[in-house]
Chain A
Amino acid sequence: MNHYMVLKKKDFNAFIEKLSKKMKVAAPVRKGVKNFAFEEVTRGDAISRVSLPTILPPKKYFMPQRETIQTFDRAVPRWNSVVSENDAIVIFGVHTCDLSGIQFLNAVMGTPPKDANYLARKANITVIGLECNDYCDAYASCKAMKTHLPSGGYDLFFTDIGDAFMVQTGSAAGETLAQETGFFTTADTGEQKKLGNIRKKKEKIFKDEISVKYANLRTVFEKTVQSEVWEDIGSRCVACGNCTNVCPTCYCFDIQDEIDLNLRTGRRVRVWDGCQNEEFAKVAGGENFRRKRGQRQRHRYMRKFAYPMEKYGTYACTGCGRCTRTCMAKISLKETIHALGEEAKS
């Protein structure tokens, strides 16, 4: 495993076409001037290979916005678990930030008791990463979060080296998939060198985008829980929840029952939910432990930079920039971290 192959660019279309005859293929597709979305494709030229992060991250394939987890029939006292196995799907064009998002979700959902629904989907997903040779835009902070280079989470990983893609294998499944299409050759030293040059160039392009060092992020957040920065953000936030929906590591959900028109049969579904929603933490006595928007925003940030370090040994921010890009109130991750960092100094 973990060796290098090459796919000539002239074969890219044929490669995608061939794959799509065997299974579903999803990849970033342009949706208007600055928007991209993962969608099913059958042709290579439908794919945007240079794209901003998609509106929704690939988590939607691992954990759809709505998914049935049970069916029931009120006439028989029995609940039937549904662990639906999706069709095999290849997700092509996953940036390194999103790969780290998938790795984080895998860790959460794989922690016992394991989430059977998530893992069943994951088992049928092949992930093909695609390197960003340059920044997508100024909202990203992938260098600071150490996600601008590939470090696992893929079956195959593509880097554009000019007239070809350098392809790194990350799993036996990825290797087999590539071999079966018949388009891949072994990389020669010239091609290896091109990859090396791209990585060297990236070292110059990618600079820490935030003023707080990776190692200090957790301490900065823990020191500033009572900061006025949270009040300020809270006064601007409109609690729309866009930031959590687009976040590659937000996985909170609600569980709801739906009943059919016959009033007898129905299903239990899991739907995305988010901590910015006012009802999210409210209990029956009316008590709400995060009543204020500022408290809820602080919670969102703490769930990226403090709590997951304790629980999963890693930050949950991938540096993709989606929360800032999508926020109607212009709440910026980079500015927030900067403000807290300054405050933590004093």
Chain B
Amino acid sequence: MTALLESPYEVMAGKILKTRQWTDLEKYFEVELPGRKDLGHEPGQFVMISVPGVGEAPISVSSSPTRKGSFEFVIRKAGGVTGMLHTMKEGDSVGIRGPFGHGFPTQRLEGYDLLMIGGGCGNIPLHSLITFVLDNRSKFGKVDILVGCKTPETVLFAEELKDWAKRPNVRLDLTVDRGGPGWQGKVGLITKLIPGIPTDPQRTCAVVVGPPIMYKFVIQELLKKEIPDDQILVSMERHMKCGVGKCGHCQIAQYYCCREGPVFTFKEIRHFYEAI
């Protein structure tokens, strides 16, 4: 009788359409579902990707939902599942479960000036929001994008960044922690770029995605600019196994990051120890 209930652990077979090695550690994938079925995600959501015999890993969808029929991931090699994914190529299949969680509240962001700040791997989920915003440009106010990476070699989406910078009404700044031969761009921490951006705090929503260490300092700068804490959005990374609010791994205080997150307002989490 209850077997009629669909298992939340049900996996769909996805097919890899395209791959590209982007950096030493990061590889790009384009994937489709059977019948080019729509994934139905919102920017900032994630899926669990399966490699049979190895396991599952939570991975952000990096493409915008405005793009139909297929979707993209950028995967950093970190261990078992991600390492195995790096050996896969066009035509191979991967399991997909999801999409899960609350992504960026795109409707709520409409009409606001956006200050989007991505550090390292954080630029992957942020990419889905940025491309969504640019595809719906007229719905949003001023758009500022700040991208920070460790070194010039680890810059993700390098070609697209150049393209975005050329768009009217978009300001983009890129900085690396350590420069290198031939690097003519900015060198230094991303936090240094924030004070220089003219903002009308009440009209601005800031979106921050990056490694844990980055949040502390970036959020301090945003608060200095008097952006209200419920207009600062962050996406939190946690260990995740089930994606459906059961396994307990991703818990931050009473929140299951996989369900109530990964995107939170700073207001929701600022008083929780163990959050940032």
Q: Enumerate chain A interface residues (CB-CB to B < 8 A).
A: 69-70, 72-74, 77-79, 81, 83, 85, 108-109, 111, 113-117, 119-120, 122-123, 225-226, 251-259, 263, 266, 268, 273, 275, 279-285, 287, 289-290, 295, 299, 302-303, 306-307, 310-311
Q: Mark B252-269, 1 if CB is under 8 A from A, else 0.
A: 111000000000000000
Instruction: Assess A225 versus B273: contact at CB under 8 Å? Given A251-B246, A255-B56, A284-B78.
Output: yes
Q: Which residues of chain B have a CB within 8 Å of any CB of chain A?
A: 1-3, 5-11, 13, 15, 50, 52-56, 76, 78-79, 82, 93, 95, 121, 211-212, 237-239, 241-242, 244-249, 251-254, 273-274
Q: B76 — which chain A residues lie within 8 A by C-beta?
A: 284
Q: Check if B3 sits within 8 Å of A268, measured CB to CB.
A: no
Q: Are B10 and A81 in contact (CB under 8 A)?
A: yes
Q: What are the residues of chain B within 8 A of A257 when measuring CB–CB?
A: 52-55
Residues of B within 8 A of A268 (CB): 9
CB neighbours of B254 from chain A (8 A):
306-307, 310-311
Most buried by B among A279, A282, A284: A284
Q: How far is the CA of A226 from the CA of B50 in the complex (A)?
A: 39
Taken together as a complex, chains A and B put the C-alpha atoms of A123 and B247 apart, in Å, by 21
Residue of B whose beta carbon sits closest to that of A108:
B246
Q: Are B53 and A79 in contact (CB under 8 A)?
A: no
**Contact of A120 (CB < 8 Å), options: B5, B11, B253:** B5
Closest to A77 in B: B93
Minimum CB–CB distance from B74 to chain A (whole Å) comes to 14
Q: Is the CB of B9 within 8 A of A253?
A: no
With both beta carbons as reference points, the residue of chain A lying nearest to B121 in the complex is identified as A285
- Do residues A113 and B2 form an inter-chain contact, with CB atoms below 8 A? no
Residues of A near B7 (CB, < 8 A) are 69, 81, 83, 116-117
Interchain nearest-CB distance for A112 vs B (Å): 9
Residue numbers in B under 8 Å from A279 (CB-CB): 239
Decide if A281 touches B238 in the complex (CB within 8 Å). yes
**A–B complex contacts, Cβ < 8 Å, 19 sampled:** A69-B9, A70-B11, A72-B52, A81-B7, A81-B11, A109-B246, A115-B244, A116-B5, A120-B5, A253-B242, A255-B55, A255-B242, A259-B52, A273-B249, A285-B211, A287-B212, A302-B253, A307-B251, A307-B254
Q: A279 CA to B274 CA in the complex, in Å?
A: 15
Nearest chain A residue, comparing its CB with the CB of B80: A257
Asked whether A115 lies within 8 Å of B8 as measured between CB atoms, the reply is yes
Which of B15, B76, B212, B253 is most buried by chain A, counting CB atoms within 10 A of its CB? B253
Best-surrounded residue of A73, A252, A299 (most CB of chain B within 10 A): A252
By Cβ-Cβ distance, the 6 closest A-B pairs, closest first, are A252-B248, A77-B93, A79-B11, A307-B254, A259-B53, A77-B13
Q: Looking at the complex, which one of B53, B247, B252, B253 makes contact with A255 (CB distance below 8 Å)?
A: B247
CB distance from A61 to the nearest CB of B (A): 15
How many angstroms from the CA of A83 to the CA of B6 in the assembled complex?
A: 9
Q: Say yes or no: A275-B248 contact (C-beta < 8 A), given A225-B273, A256-B55, A306-B254.
A: yes
With A79-B52, A302-B253 given, is the CB distance from A114 to B8 under 8 Å?
yes
Checking B93, B249, B273 against A281 with a beta-carbon cut-off of 8 angstroms, the contacting residue is: B249
Collect the chain B residues with CB atoms within 8 Å of residue A70's CB: 9, 11
Residue of A69, A72, A120, A289 near B2 (CB, 8 A) is A120
Q: Which residue of B lies closest to A82 (CB)?
A: B7
When chains A and B are docked, how far (Å) is the Cα of A116 from the Cα of B247?
Answer: 14
The complex places the Cα of A115 from the Cα of B5 at a distance, in Å, of 9
CA distance A302 to B254 in the complex (A): 9
Chain B residues closer than 8 Å to A282, beta-carbon distance = 239
Closest CB in chain A relative to B255 CB, distance in Å: 9
Given A257-B53, A289-B274, A310-B254, A79:B10 Cβ within 8 A: yes
Decide: B247 and A254 in contact? CB cutoff 8 A: yes
C-alpha spacing A118/B78, complex, angstroms: 32
CA distance A284 to B6 in the complex (A): 30
Whole-angstrom distance between the alpha carbons of A81 and B249 in the complex?
22
Closest to B48 in A: A255
Residues on B with beta carbons closer than 8 Å to the beta carbon of A281: 238-239, 249, 251
Least CB distance, B48 to chain A, in whole angstroms: 9
List chain A residues, Cβ under 8 A from B246: 108-109, 115, 251, 253
